[in-house]
Structure 1
Amino acid sequence: MKSYSGRVHYKHKRRKYEVGSQPGTIDIPEDAKKPKIEVYSFNDKDLQTSKGTNMETITKQMAKCKDHTHWIKINGLGDVQLMEDIGTFLGINHLVLEDIVNTHQRPKFDEYEGYVFATSRILYLDKNNELTNCQFSGIVKDNIFISFEEDYSDYFAAVKTRLKAGKGLIRTGGPGFILYSLTDTILDNYFVLLAQLGDRIDETEDLLYDHPDKRIMFDAQQLKRTLIVIRRACWPERDKINDMIRSENPEINKDTKIYLRDAYDHCIQAMDMVESYKEVTSSIIDLYLSMVSNRMNEIMKVLTIISVIFIPLTFIAGIYGMNFSREDAHGRLIPDNMPELYAHHGYVYTLIGMLALAVVQLFVFWRKGWFNKL
């Protein structure tokens, strides 16, 4: 059978529940990675960058570049003190900080006095063919955009490249435009992931026609499960972008909203692809089960024909196997006790009759088309 590597594995992350805990509690998961900070300060003529691991990296860069827009990029959430310092420095509500470290949020857009907060789901297949489902969070306030990611993956390398090149609105559109750029990058990667899944669905479908095997059903079910994960990210992402477009908050300006409409259209396209692929995977499973059922019907058809042929033959053999005596103890003939048992060549005649009966049955079955495509 043709080898197939379409199975998708999952990185399971259990959500920690603290029943009755105080709202706004910053509870960092034990496996959270230590933060790495990159600060990009830019305007239409200049770009300054710095890297570090603590709040001092941020404050020094902002003090040095007062007339710049700042993108503070934080990878890793494993530092409670840093989160509290950022909340104090920017005046961020503790409920927002709780949502940032609680990495099971659905995509959303929340407005607060003086700033806005947004989350998205980052989805991609890593080198081990594992579906990674991470949270992206962003805060826009004045001339600052601060983003939070769970791991160290360079997911937004294309945006950083555009920022360094300085072309388009990336440096002049403000922090709201950076939020749009990162959101659009997330959506673009949804299409990359969907293209990979689409290829695997095609491979699964080809295998179904060439070499039907129960493994195909399992692979199709896992592909369907992956599509459900993407759907759970796309649907609220659409609502989030729609909320950003309708927002009157000055942090999201009119120029950015024009581009957000394009991102909204991309999100709708991704949702359509997810629904289409889900239908295809469901059809693959249904078709496989139908093929299994048809093969079973064909087997039962063969067994039925064999049984129908041998039932009358067995009946005849059973009758002549009863061995009733022809004569009684005094040598007198017993009436109606199988005179054929004493007929000359009776055994041969019986076999010939049974064979003729079988041939007649086969001829009748053939005329009725029962042997077609056995």
Structure 2
Amino acid sequence: MYYTILDGKVIRTEHKEESLITVSQLKEGVNPFVAHSEQLSDDYMASRTYSRFESYDGFDLICINHIHIENLQDEINPVYIIITNGHLDFYSTDYNYVISVMDEMKSFPNGFNINTVLFHFMMRIIRGDLIHLEDIGAELRQFESEIFDDNIDEHMAKKMLIIKKHLMKIEMYYELLLNLVADLSENRNGFYSKSTLKKFSLIDSKLDRLYSKTNNLLSYASEVWSTYQSQVDLELNKTMKILTIITVIVSPLTLIAGWYGMNLQMPEFHYQYSYPIVIALCIVIVVGSIIFFKKKKWF
């Protein structure tokens, strides 16, 4: 699908078959718009599919990993953008996404040029990301409330670890985009006007805020995890305390039972009140232990 800019508006136009190339050809360095296409080496195109920017003699090359941060398990579809003086070419296996972005620009007011198309395309990539990050923050706050309310379920630890891993991937994604925009703003080939560079600065600011937000959420997730671990340790200490109390109470009774369980002749065996005395002694030990632990506030 081809688009052109006419009177400052993005419009769809007919394509020329002879000018079309595939993504696989692009990875091999085939580019009809660049005279020195051998500069697109296999090392760059074939294996390095992370978001990045490279400036060559006569053209700039951008690779943006189009991902949805709310579902990082989806297949990553890199979008390659070749920029020459007055020409902008998109290549992607997910061409529907590129078409949807360009069709959206058709409804925008007049005043478009190649640079503003690139600006709006990059802004579209991060649109809605802040809402997803806010949702993650709300989920972490919910976890924290449940922990303080002693409402911990067996799946909470797994959920928190998944969120933390998810945030780490998002942080890396924004870091790569920040590096891309920083390299793009250097304007090594002189393709971008001062007004365009200001727009790139706006993208950089938005990305920096998203990166900082993600970093803060990662720190918050670590704090919630520490709180969870502390609460689990506290519950474990309570269990150990109860077991200790039971052991302390039962130990004297076990000693008495073992003592009188020996097949030895003891004088008190022939005393008619021996059993009532032993029973009373056991009751005194149990009641006395309970009173002692109550005063110590062990339970």
* Range of TM-score over shorter length: 0.7 to 0.9
Q: Write 1 or 2 for the structure with the bigger share of helix.
A: 2
Deviation at 1:305, TM superposition (A): 0.5
1:122-133 equivalences in 2 (<5 Å)? 122-124=66-68, 130-133=73-76
- Distance, in Å, in 2 between the alignment partners of 1:213 and 1:268 is 36
Q: How far is the alpha carbon of 1:303 from its aligned partner?
A: 1.1
Q: Map of 1:350-369 to 2, 5 A cutoff?
A: 350-369=278-297
Q: 1:303 to 1:342 in 2, by over 3 A?
A: same
TM-score by length of 1: 0.70
Is 1:342 the equivalent of 2:267? no
Secondary structure of 1:90 counterpart:
coil
The answer to whether the Cα contact below 8 Å between 1:142 and 1:251 also exists between their aligned partners in 2 is yes
Q: Contact 2:51 / 2:180 at 8 angstroms: preserved in 1?
A: yes
The answer to whether 1:119 aligns with 2:68 is no
* Aligned residues between the structures: 298
Contact kept in structure 2, 1:120 and 1:137, CA below 8 Å: yes
Is residue 2:180 matched to residue 1:180?
no
Relative to structure 1, the CA distance from residue 51 to residue 154 in structure 2 (aligned partners, 3 Å threshold; closer, same or farther) is farther
Q: How far off is 1:151 after superposition? A: 1.8
> Does 304-313 or 285-294 show the bigger shift?
285-294
- Rg: which structure is higher? 1
Separation (CA, whole Å) in 1 of partners of 2:170 and 2:158? 19
1:257 CA drift (Å): 0.4
Deviation of 1:197 after TM superposition, in Å, equals 3.4
Inter-partner Cα distance in structure 2 for 1:246 and 1:180: 15
Post-superposition CA distance 1:135-190 (Å, at most 9, x none): 2221111221011223244367355323x235154x2xx32332222112212243
The answer as to whether partners of 1:87 and 1:97 remain within 8 angstroms in 2 is no
The correspondence of residues 229-248 of structure 1 with structure 2, limited to 5 A, is: 229-248=169-188
Instruction: Kindly state the Cα deviation for residue 285 of structure 1 after the two structures are TM-superposed.
Output: 2.8
Partner AA of 1:149 in structure 2? S
Q: Percent same amino acid among aligned pairs?
A: 21
Letter in 2 for 1:56: E
Matched, 1:145 2:88: yes
Check conservation: 1:138, 1:148, Cα contact below 8 A.
yes
Q: In the alignment, which of 226, 238, 255 is matched to residue 298 of structure 1?
A: 238
Displacement after TM superposition at 1:354 (Å): 1.2
Matches within 5 A, 1:194-209: 194-205=133-144, 208=147, 209=149
TM superposition shift of 1:267:
0.8
Whether the 8 Å contact between 1:51 and 1:57 is mirrored in structure 2 is no
Counterpart for residue 257 of structure 1: 197
Distance of 1:217 and 1:286 partners within structure 2 = 11
Q: Which moved more, 1:87-96 or 1:296-305?
A: 87-96
Note if contact 2:8-2:110 (Cα within 8 Å) is conserved in structure 1. Answer: no
Question: For the Cα contact (< 8 Å) 2:64–2:78, is it kept in 1?
Answer: yes
CA separation of 1:345 and 1:241: change in aligned 2, threshold 3 A: same
CA contact (8 A) 2:9 2:109 kept: no
Matches within 5 A, 1:158-177: 158-162=101-105, 164-167=106-109, 169=111, 171=112, 174-177=113-116
Secondary structure, aligned partner of 1:255: helix
Aligned to 1:44: 7
Structure 1: which amino acid aligns with 2:104?
T
- The superposition leaves residues 26-65 of structure 1 with CA deviations (integer Å, 9 ceiling, x where unpaired) of xxxxxxxxxxxx111113256542466xx61747xxxxxx
Structure-2 change in CA distance of 1:47 and 1:361 (3 Å): closer
The residue number in structure 2 matching 1:88 is 32
Q: CA RMSD in A?
A: 3.0
Equivalent residue letter for 1:176: N
1:101-144 deviation line (CA, Å, top 9, x unaligned): 53743322221122111222222168x88444332221111221
Residue 252 of structure 2 corresponds to residue 312 of structure 1: yes
Distance 1:252 1:264 in 2: 15
Q: Which whole-Å CA distance do the structure 2 matches of 1:206 and 1:368 have between them?
A: 30
Q: In the alignment, is residue 268 of structure 1 matched against residue 223 of structure 2?
A: no
CA contact (8 A) 2:81 2:91 kept: yes
State the secondary structure of the residue aligned to 2:182: helix
Amino acid at match of 1:137: Y
Q: Deviations over 1:199-252 (max 9, x none)?
A: 444454455456412322112212222212211111121122122223243212
| Structure 1 gap ranges (5+) | 1-37, 60-73, 326-337
